[in-house]
Amino acid sequence: MSSVSSLGNRAADDLAYVRQVLDRAENFSAVPGLGGVGMGMVAIGAAVLAHGQGTIDRWLLTWVAAAVAACAVGALTVVRKARRHGLPLDGGAARRFSRGLMPPLLLGVVLTVTAWRADSWSMLVPIWLGCYGVGVLAAGAVSTARVVPRFGMSLLVCSAIAAALPQSWHDGMMAIGFGAGHLITGEIVRRRYGG
């Protein structure tokens, strides 16, 4: 009898192992193309609004509001695409996508507060583009859409360029990196990967 229960335990262990392997091999395919387009439009609008702000505090508030709006657009459209295509958001691929994206974004928040306290305003845009670029690059490693990690690399390039430019050009770099980058990437994802 012990041999039968041992065989059953081994079969259960084997099934658990197979599930783990399949879970790790799965790619995240709920990256929303339309969400990317929406996030790009938010960023371009924010760049125009931020450039016209009279104080640095209002400029920062404009970009923080845009970040909140863009995050909401991204989150809502991920959920919408996942539901439409019957994709799990609690599976291994979604968790790995989040684990790649979230730490650099949280670091960006910490560095933003640090730069704000130190009155290092010229560091904000390079920090934002760089942290978001690292997050997109890491999350893109598990994305079905191969354009996602390329977008992450383009954000890192924009971060380096912004660090070398005068602060008066930073809203333009945000419009290019976040705005145009999301528009282009979002449209490619929409056309090639189902919305």
Q: How many residues does the chain have?
A: 195
Summarize pLDDT for 67-105 with one digit per residue, the tens.
Answer: 999 999 999 998 888 888 887 888 888 888 889 999 999
Evaluate if residue 8 carries a pLDDT over 60.
yes
Which tens digits make up the pLDDT trace of 13-45? 655 554 554 444 467 777 888 899 999 999 999
Question: Over the stretch 45-54, which tens digit does the pLDDT of each residue have?
Answer: 999 999 999 9
Spatial separation of the C-alpha atoms in residues 107 and 74, rounded to whole Å: 19
CA distance 61 to 68: 11
Q: How far apart are CA 5 and CA 9, in angstroms?
A: 6
What's the confidence (pLDDT) of residue 194? 78
Is the Cβ–Cβ distance between 195 and 33 less than 8 Å?
Answer: yes
Q: How confident is the model at residue 15, as a pLDDT?
A: 57
pLDDT (0 to 100) of residue 25 = 46
List the chain domain ranges.
28-192
Task: Give the per-residue pLDDT at 82.
Answer: 82
Per-residue pLDDT at 183: 96
Q: Position of tokens 């904000």?
A: 124
Dist. CA 155–CA 181, nearest whole Å: 8
State the CB neighbour count (10 A cutoff) for residue 53: 15
Segment among 3-12, 78-87, 154-163 with least mean pLDDT: 3-12
